[in-house]
Amino acid sequence: MQKTESKLTVFFDDPFWVGVYERISDGKLEVCKITFGAEPKDYEVYAFLLENWSKLRFSTPIKADSKQDTKINPKRMQRAIKKQLESNGIGTKAQQAIKLSQMEGKEARKKKSRLEREQEKERQFIIKQEKKKMKHKGH
């Protein structure tokens, strides 16, 4: 049986409100960062997720810590929820996953720009060679 857990954390990251959507599926953690403008209402966040679910770009999956399913005392659960609501920011695993996806994007951009630079150099070299041949033929 496949088990999927998901969690959305919305917090203020000056100057914007940011949402971090974490999902754990088959022991793999994937994270997506969503930037909101002004402070979003609950129904706005829900509507946004419904409309843009297919457009969300999740990070590459990383191995997540497995938690055992145990019955939790309702009062303890309330305390844990209250503690999560009071805390700011995102979990370290989520931060690592976002950073990993940013680094992968950076590597891809570097590789693409390097390739374009080399192609431009090659093009300029060919143009110079043709100019030399034209000058040589003229004399």
Q: How far is CA 78 from the centre of its chain?
A: 30
At residue 87, φ and ψ (nearest 5 deg) are -75, 145
pLDDT digits (tens, 9 = 90+) for 12-43: 877 888 888 888 888 888 888 888 888 888 89
User: What's the mean pLDDT when you consider all of the chain?
Assistant: 85
What is the pTM for the complete model shown?
Answer: 0.53
